[in-house]
């Protein structure tokens, strides 16, 4: 199955933007990545099993593209992350602290944490999106949570 790009943009643009931002930590790069991802969907003749399959594919492509952006040096003059964070308005002080703490995590933990807590993916689904083993995802999730707990103390509950 395939779905019209315009519908996918309306549904997933923000989700892809946040995932890309998680990796490249730059608004402009993240916006480019989202656009590139939809272009790739549009130009690829791939057939999908379901809408969930499309969503996972889009996320995977956006994540890969964001990683690629981090590996190239052909990057625009970036606005420092700290400056960008200052332009954001958080509902609570704790939300801002959590935001900054997450962005301070190593990338490999950050993206797993993000897919789990933001996209509400299961370990099995994260493994498919990132093409990792489930045990690897569990390890990353566990280490990421521990780092969050160490940094945020009582602001972050112990996950079971």
Partner 1 sequence: MTNKEKYQQAFSTLKASRKLEMEDIEMSKNVIFTKAVAVAAAIALCFVGSNGICYAATGDTWVEKMIVYFNGEPKEMDVEVKDMGDGSYGYFMEIPEDGEYTMDVPENSSRGVAVITEEVPEDFQNSISNIDFALDLESDEMVVLKGEPLEIVTSIEVVDGIQWFCANEERVDITEDFADGEATGSILVSGKEYAYQLTGTVDEYSVMLTSEE
CA distance 109 to 21: 14
CA distance 108 to 117: 15
Q: Which of 2, 42, 49, 122 binds partner 1 (CB under 8 A)?
A: 42
Helix H or strand E segment including 104? none
In the three-class reduction of DSSP (H, G, I as helix; E, B as strand; rest coil), residue 79 is classed as coil
Least Å distance between CB 6 and partner 1?
6
Q: Are 75 and 54 in contact (CB under 8 A)?
A: no
Number of Cβ atoms within 10 Å of the Cβ of 36: 17
Asked if 57 interacts with partner 1 (CB under 8 A), we say: yes
Asked if 30 interacts with partner 1 (CB under 8 A), we say: yes
Asked if 157 interacts with partner 1 (CB under 8 A), we say: yes
Return the number of the residue (1 or 154) whose C-beta is nearest partner 1. 154
Asked if 3 interacts with partner 1 (CB under 8 A), we say: no
CA distance 66 to 23: 6
**Which chain residues interact with partner 1 by CB under 8 A?**
5-6, 9, 13-14, 16-18, 21, 30-31, 34-40, 42-44, 46, 57, 60-65, 67-68, 71-74, 88-92, 94-96, 98-99, 102, 108, 113-114, 117-118, 120, 131-133, 136, 139, 155-157, 159
């Amino acid at each position: 199955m395939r779905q019209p790009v315009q519908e996918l943009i309306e549904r997933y643009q923000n989700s892809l933007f946040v995932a890309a931002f998680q990796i490249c930590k730059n608004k402009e790069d993240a916006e480019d990545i989202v656009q590139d991802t939809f272009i790739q969907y549009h130009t690829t003749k791939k057939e999908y099993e379901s809408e969930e399959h499309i969503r996972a594919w889009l996320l995977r492509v956006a994540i890969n593209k964001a990683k690629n952006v981090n590996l190239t040096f052909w990057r625009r003059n970036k606005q420092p992350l700290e400056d960008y964070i200052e332009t954001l308005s958080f509902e609570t002080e704790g939300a801002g602290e959590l935001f900054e703490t997450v962005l301070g995590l190593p990338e490999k933990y950050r993206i797993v944490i993000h897919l789990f807590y933001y996209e509400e993916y299961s370990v099995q689904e994260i493994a498919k999106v990132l093409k990792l083993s489930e045990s690897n995802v569990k390890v990353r999730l566990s280490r990421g949570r521990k780092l969050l707990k160490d940094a945020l103390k009582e602001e972050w509950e112990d996950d079971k």
